[in-house]
């Protein structure tokens, strides 16, 4: 392999690495002409001895140079064969028009085998199109690219994906002599995958609607995604100029201690808080904080994720208001159902009372009676208490107040449905029923009212 580095080549004139050995070779006696031999014989013994000494010296120098060159070759060979970089030496193959169409493997090292999975014994002196069929159809023109290096002597470095090998490589290539080239390369597939993974994460972080900030252990911001800047109005530099992330916690002074304690204990922290934006506005935020740890487990910062819950809060408030309105409507409907005022004839209305009567319902009974009597121009009102199972002072008082109020409006109150137990209670309570007509049944009450 290394002969290509050191042997002179008649075609290397002008090539960047062409080398011409600085050695003068003397002709041997056999190659001398008859005239030269005669002249040599005529030399004095002294001259002959001097010439022989010179020849001996030159032979020793040549031997020394050859050994030195062999040593250099061996060292370079050991360097390339034992380097951690993949190494390969090739000769380019040209067509009739001197265009690169293939290249041949001349030497590879162990790292080449490790990085490519190709074995040296299956490569040596074979064309790349034999070793990697279809490489000539790859998106990247490996043969043409390396052919340019071998023919022009340029030095190149690049990163490229190898479709046949399904690996990424970083490659340096140069030409030690015309039509030959060397590649030094390294497998960077894992790095590329990590970069692609990081790029996907970065794209996701950049695209998410959540405001994300990377915070150092000192509380200073290291990174804001676009959503963070749009939400709070601060770039990294602008927020740090105000003291860092704590500036946003102005309305929640206890947050800093809580979050720092969570980071130190390597626990996630999540809570709904109110943070301050650059324009002074207060934003309801779902704040999530997670510690960023070294390999040793030591916290070195935190990732802060802020979700603007303004819309949710507004929706919740609207929902609560709607629910309150619905409950009020239900209460109103229940009140109306619990105190119905039913007209049964001209100037005659009836209100059946069922169940317990509390203060709110008592007030509703009174209001419904008064408003209904006026609206219906009723002068007879039947209050049926068949459904009232318990009569106490409170209920009796409600009935008496209703009767007195209706009397002031010119209406007669007819109380029906009095059970024996209720009658006994009214007597015990000494309720004055002189202004009220009392009848045992609702039917009797209706008959009485209609006859008048």
- Domain end point (choices 82, 103, 121): 82
Residue 15 main-chain phi, psi, to 5 deg: -75, 145
Residue 13 main-chain phi, psi, to 5 deg: -60, 125
* CATH classification at residue 102: 3.30.450.20
- Find out whether 251 and 282 touch, Cβ atoms under 8 Å: yes
Do residues 94 and 185 both lie within one domain? yes
Whether residue 26 has pLDDT greater than 80? no
> If phi over 0 gives left and psi between -120 and 50 gives alpha, with beta otherwise, what is residue 134?
left
Interatomic CA distance for residues 410 and 379, integer angstroms = 6
- The answer to whether residue 198 is domain-embedded is no
Interatomic CA distance for residues 142 and 135, integer angstroms = 8
Helices (runs of H) and strands (runs of E) counted in the chain? 15, 15
Cα→Cα distances 292→199, 201, 221, 240, 296, Å: 19, 16, 13, 19, 11
Interatomic CA distance for residues 403 and 102, integer angstroms = 117
Q: In terms of Cα–Cα distance, which of 177, 253, 256, 187 is closest to 215?
A: 256
- The answer to whether residue 407 is domain-embedded is yes
- The answer to whether residue 197 is domain-embedded is no
- The answer to whether residue 317 is domain-embedded is no
Interatomic CA distance for residues 112 and 184, integer angstroms = 9
Do residues 298 and 363 both lie within one domain? no
Range of weakest confidence among 9-23, 75-89, 279-293, 314-328 = 9-23
Count the neighbouring beta carbons within 10 Å of the beta carbon of residue 124.
12
pLDDT in tens, 229-248: 999 999 999 999 988 888 88
- The answer to whether residue 326 is domain-embedded is no
Range of weakest confidence among 75-89, 152-166, 187-201 = 75-89
Token pair of 225 as six digits: 């995604």
pTM across the whole model: 0.48
DSSP 158-183: EEEEETTTTEEEEEEEE-SSTTEEEE
Contacts of 95 (CB under 8 A, 6+ apart): 101
Q: Match 């390999």 to its residue by tokens.
A: 295
Residue 287 main-chain phi, psi, to 5 deg: -100, 125
| Percent over 70 (pLDDT), the chain | 85
- Domain end point (choices 59, 82, 105): 82
- The answer to whether residue 122 is domain-embedded is yes
Q: How confident is the model at residue 8 (pLDDT cuts 50, 70, 90)?
A: very low
* CATH classification at residue 349: 3.30.750.24
- Residue 134, pLDDT score: 92
| Percent over 90 (pLDDT), the chain | 37
- Residue 2, pLDDT score: 38
Own/partner pairs, 427-434, CB within 8 angstroms, 24+ separation: 429/391, 429/392, 429/393, 429/396, 431/396, 431/399, 431/400, 432/400
pLDDT in tens, 320-376: 999 999 888 877 776 656 678 888 888 899 988 887 777 777 788 888 888 888 888
Q: In terms of Cα–Cα distance, which of 246, 201, 242, 244 is closest to 225?
A: 201
- The answer to whether residue 315 is domain-embedded is no
- Residue 46, pLDDT score: 64
C-alpha 390, offset from chain centre? 67
- Domain end point (choices 252, 286, 308): 308
- Find out whether 325 and 429 touch, Cβ atoms under 8 Å: no
Please, what is the average pLDDT of the chain?
Answer: 83
Count the neighbouring beta carbons within 10 Å of the beta carbon of residue 392.
11
Count: domains in the chain:
4
Do residues 186 and 217 both lie within one domain? no
- Residue 327, pLDDT score: 86
- The answer to whether residue 149 is domain-embedded is yes
Do residues 375 and 290 both lie within one domain? no
Count the neighbouring beta carbons within 10 Å of the beta carbon of residue 390.
12
> If phi over 0 gives left and psi between -120 and 50 gives alpha, with beta otherwise, what is residue 98?
left
Looking at residues 374-395, what average pLDDT do you find? Answer: 84
Interatomic CA distance for residues 7 and 9, integer angstroms = 6
Token pair of 432 as six digits: 């004055």
* Of residues 98 and 67, more confidently modeled: 98
Residue 432 sits in which domain range?
A: 339-451
- Residue 37, pLDDT score: 56
pLDDT in tens, 125-158: 999 999 999 999 999 999 999 999 999 999 999 9
């Amino acid at each position: 392999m290394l002969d290509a580095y050191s042997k002179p080549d008649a075609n290397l004139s002008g090539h960047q690495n062409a080398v011409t050995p600085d050695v003068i070779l003397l002709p041997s006696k056999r190659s001398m002409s008859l005239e030269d031999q005669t002249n040599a014989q005529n030399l004095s013994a002294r001259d002959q001895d001097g010439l022989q000494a010179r020849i001996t010296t030159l032979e020793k120098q040549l031997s020394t140079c050859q050994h030195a060159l062999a040593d250099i070759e061996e060292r370079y060979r050991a360097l390339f064969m034992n380097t951690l970089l993949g190494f390969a030496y090739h000769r380019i193959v040209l067509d009739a028009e001197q265009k690169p169409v293939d290249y041949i493997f001349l030497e590879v090292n162990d790292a080449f085998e490790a990085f490519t999975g190709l074995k040296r014994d299956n490569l040596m002196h074979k064309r790349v199109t034999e070793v990697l069929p279809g490489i000539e159809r790859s998106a990247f023109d490996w043969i043409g690219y390396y052919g340019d290096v071998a023919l022009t002597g340029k030095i190149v470095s690049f990163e490229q994906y190898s479709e046949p090998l399904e690996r990424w490589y970083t490659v340096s290539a140069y030409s030690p002599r015309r039509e030959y080239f060397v590649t030094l390369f390294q497998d960077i597939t894992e790095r590329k995958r990590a970069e692609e993974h990081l790029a996907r994460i970065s794209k996701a972080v950049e695209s998410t609607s959540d405001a994300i900030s990377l915070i150092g252990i000192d509380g200073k911001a290291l990174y804001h995604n676009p959503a963070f800047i749009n939400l709070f109005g601060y770039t990294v530099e602008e927020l740090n100029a105000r003291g860092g992330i704590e500036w946003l916690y102005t309305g929640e002074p206890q947050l800093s201690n809580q979050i720092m304690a969570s980071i130190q204990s390597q626990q996630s922290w999540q809570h709904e808080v109110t943070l301050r934006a650059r324009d002074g506005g207060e934003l309801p935020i779902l704040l999530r904080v997670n510690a960023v740890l070294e390999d040793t487990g030591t916290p070195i910062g935190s990732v802060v994720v802020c979700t603007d819950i303004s819309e949710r809060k507004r929706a919740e408030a609207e929902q609560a208001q709607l629910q309150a309105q619905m409950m009020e409507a239900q209460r109103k409907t229940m009140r109306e159902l619990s105190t119905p005022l039913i007209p049964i004839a001209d100037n005659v209305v009836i209100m059946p009372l069922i169940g317990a009567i509390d203060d709110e319902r008592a007030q509703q009974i009174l209001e419904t009676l008064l408003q209904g009597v006026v609206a219906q121009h009723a002068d007879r009102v039947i209050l049926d208490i068949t459904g009232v199972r318990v009569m106490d002072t409170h209920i009796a008082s409600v009935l008496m107040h209703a009767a007195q109020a209706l009397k002031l409006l010119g209406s007669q109150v007819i109380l029906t449905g009095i059970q024996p137990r209720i009658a006994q209670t009214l007597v015990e309570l000494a309720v004055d029923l002189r202004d009220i007509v009392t009848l045992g049944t609702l039917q009797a009450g209706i008959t009485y009212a209609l006859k008048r």
